[in-house]
């Protein structure tokens, strides 16, 4: 059954940095190619991942791959700072800037194209959200400025029938994207304070999280695991399988 199409594909080459919008990509066993394949670690906390929770301005730094999606190694990872300067993700000048702002000692870690452990990705392979749910959340919160980037999905789906939160009813079922890729919806995404951080200016708005806790049991978006790998494209049809 046709349920919609892929409106946006978003990957985050570096955990907690702003992501990049791509027109096409590969779905790997671990999820979207290169998603959270690189990360900064907080040496002041014994090497835990540095995230927006500790350093909200991370969201204003945007990461992207520069080059083709290779299986042997990742393309160059480039970071654009809030001021519009570009650096290699391991450039000493960039690291020093982020250390000064976060008041933390920062190291780097990266994985291979064939394997990204669940740790950096969080709970499951892929995070999915829908346009109907986002529009409904705007009404619930009473604010039209809810940007879906706050929720950091990999796939943003435009539904054929605009039924808010219908994706939660599909948990346990599979969906097919394009001609080959299949994923299985496995559970709700419980949200944290990261959604309160505006992706444009890093300002906090706690009432969004409070609203989601009160009205939606703190759920927004659903996690999916990969069943069949392959290529996906923006505008690919999305079908709910029997």
Structure tokens at 84: 């519009």
Other beta carbons within 10 Å of 7: 17
Return the domain boundaries, the chain.
Answer: 2-240
pLDDT tens-place string over residues 214-224: 999 999 999 99
Structure tokens at 199: 């992706």
Ordered alpha helix ranges (H), the chain: 92-102, 118-121, 131-141, 206-216
Sign of CA dihedral 60, 41, 63, 19: negative
Q: How many secondary structure helices (H) and strands (E) does the chain include? A: 4, 17
- Residue 116 pLDDT: 66
- Which DSSP letter does residue 143 get? -
Q: Are strands 38-42 and 48-49 parallel, antiparallel or unpaired?
A: antiparallel
Distance of CA 1 to the CA centre of its chain: 26
Q: Would you state the torsion angle of the CA atoms of residues 41, 127, 146, 79, taken in this order, to the nearest 10 degrees?
A: 40
pLDDT tens-place string over residues 1-29: 999 999 999 999 999 999 999 999 999 98
Other beta carbons within 10 Å of 214: 10
Average pLDDT over residues 50-71: 94
Q: What percent of the chain has pLDDT over 70?
A: 96
Residue 232's Cβ-side half-sphere holds a number of Cα atoms within 13 Å equal to 32
- CATH architecture assignment, domain 2-240: Beta Barrel (2.40)
Average pLDDT over residues 54-64: 96
Average pLDDT over residues 189-193: 94
- Residue 120 pLDDT: 43
pLDDT tens-place string over residues 125-138: 899 999 999 999 99
Structure tokens at 157: 């789906």
């Amino acid at each position: 059954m046709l349920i919609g199409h892929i409106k946006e594909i978003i990957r985050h080459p570096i955990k907690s940095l702003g992501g990049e919008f791509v027109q096409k990509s590969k779905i790997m066993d671990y999820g979207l190619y290169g998603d959270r394949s690189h990360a900064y670690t907080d040496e002041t906390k014994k090497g835990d991942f540095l995230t927006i929770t500790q350093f909200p301005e991370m969201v204003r730094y945007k990461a992207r791959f520069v080059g083709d999606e290779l299986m042997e190694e990742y393309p160059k990872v480039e970071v654009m700072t809030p001021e519009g300067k570009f650096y290699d993700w391991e450039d000493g000048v960039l690291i020093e800037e982020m250390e000064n702002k976060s008041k933390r000692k920062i190291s780097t870690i990266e994985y291979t194209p064939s394997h990204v452990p669940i740790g950096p990705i969080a709970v499951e392979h892929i995070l999915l959200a829908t346009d109907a749910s986002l529009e409904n959340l705007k009404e619930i919160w009473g604010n039209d400025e809810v940007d879906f980037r706050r929720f950091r999905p990999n796939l943003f789906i435009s539904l054929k029938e605009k039924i808010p939160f219908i994706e939660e009813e599909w948990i346990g079922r599979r969906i097919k994207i394009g001609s080959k890729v299949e994923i299985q919806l496995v559970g709700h995404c419980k949200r944290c304070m990261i959604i309160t951080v505006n992706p444009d200016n890093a300002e906090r708005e706690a009432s969004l999280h409070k609203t989601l806790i009160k009205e939606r049991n703190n759920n927004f978006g659903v996690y999916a695991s990969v069943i069949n790998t392959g290529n996906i494209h923006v505008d690919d049809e999305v079908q709910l399988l029997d």
